[in-house]
Amino acid sequence: MIYQRVALIGLGLIAGSMSLAIRRGGLAGETVGTARSAQTRDTAREIGLCDRIVDTVAEAVAGADLVVLCVPVGAMAAVAAEIGPHLAPGATVTDVGSVKQAVIDAVGPHLPEGVHFVPGHPIAGTEHSGPRAGFPELFDSRWTLLTPLEGGDPEAEAKLRALWEGMGSFVESMDANHHDLVLAVTSHAPHLIAYTMVGVADDLRRVTDSEVIKYSAAGFRDFTRIAASDPTMWRDVFLSNKDATLEILGRFTEELFALQRAIRTGDGEHLHSFFTRTREIRRGIIEAGQDTDAPDFGRRPKSSS
């Protein structure tokens, strides 16, 4: 047992998976959850997502030695302001937001003296959301990044690290700004690009939606999965990681223009050598256990692992 009482604020995919992973690992004496809407709280009660579901954030954080903010990045400031006065002295506050510097700026000012703030981000997700989306294996063999503040409490960080490891995750610490750049590359830019491509396909007059759907197995399908993610979450991510995302998209556009030019001029050598280079990274991902190379073509019966 690492914490006596873990309070989860927001009960979606991430909070739900955390609660189930904490239960699986026996990592907390008790989990208490709350969400904005009565509907989400009712669902969470019905499926027994936490040991206790309460109606207000004040109740949720009272007496908790760990409080986890599991709401969209744009909602972090308001939630932090609400919990601030109710936090137990010595408690640790963390979050799971996909952007880190903006969350530090939003949350930090609302936390009282004597409370430890250790921002975090599990690099694991699916395109589903809400209280029914969680499952205990979500963090297994995935990385969680902590972006501790300068002068923060090393013990608070070590305990939080132990919790994430207990939930199956690998853990690394880094600077918040570096986190935001790394995620702009591995997540934020790819999501925007996927959203864009799916939007374009949906817009074409000369190709019907039904054709796009039927023939999606030729590559397009892989884009629709990430473009089915929650719109609010992603709006907040882009608005709060503007600079890094725009920097990467700028590089992307530059490179795309070079490849378009190679297509137009018939420069097969440029294309071939570019396409050869990109295979290495895939190999690295398989070797690192972050994907399988099974010929996974979406025909398997639905399963939960």
Ligand X SMILES: NC(=O)c1ccc[n+]([C@@H]2O[C@H](COP(=O)([O-])OP(=O)(O)OC[C@H]3O[C@@H](n4cnc5c(N)ncnc54)[C@H](OP(=O)(O)O)[C@@H]3O)[C@@H](O)[C@H]2O)c1
Out of a second copy, ligand X, none, what residue 57 binds, judged by CB under 5 to 8 A for its kind, is: none
Verify binding: residue 299, a second copy, rule CB under 8 A.
Answer: yes
Which one among 55, 105, 155, 291 touches a second copy, defined by CB under 8 A? 291
| Residue 121 burial by Cβ neighbours in a 10 Å radius (0-12, 13-18, 19+) | buried
Residue 127 CA: distances (Å) to CA of 224, 226, 261: 10, 6, 34
Out of ligand X, a second copy, none, what residue 105 binds, judged by CB under 5 to 8 A for its kind, is: none
- Residues numbered 124 to 143 that lie near a second copy (CB under 8 A) are 124-128, 135, 137-138, 140-143
Rounded least distance, CB 77 to ligand X, Å:
10
- Footprint on this chain of ligand X (rule: CB under 6 A): 10-15, 35-37, 40, 70-73, 75, 79, 96-98, 121-122, 125, 129-130, 133, 230, 233, 237
Stretch that binds a second copy, among 29-37, 54-62, 158-166, 223-231 (CB under 8 A): 223-231
CA atoms of 82 and 76, how far apart (whole Å): 10
Nearer to ligand X, 106 or 205 (CB): 106
Rounded least distance, CB 276 to a second copy, Å:
5
Positive or negative torsion for Cα 228, 231, 235, 237:
negative
CA atoms of 284 and 53, how far apart (whole Å): 42
Nearer to a second copy, 133 or 160 (CB): 133
Rounded least distance, CB 90 to ligand X, Å:
25
CA atoms of 72 and 236, how far apart (whole Å): 7
Is 198:205 a contact under the CB 8 Å cutoff?
no
CA atoms of 177 and 102, how far apart (whole Å): 9
Residue whose C-alpha is closest to residue 271's, from 281, 282, 285, 261? 261
CA atoms of 2 and 29, how far apart (whole Å): 8
Out of ligand X, a second copy, none, what residue 36 binds, judged by CB under 5 to 8 A for its kind, is: ligand X
Site string for a second copy, 143-182 (x = CB under 8 A): x-x------------------------x-x-----x--xx
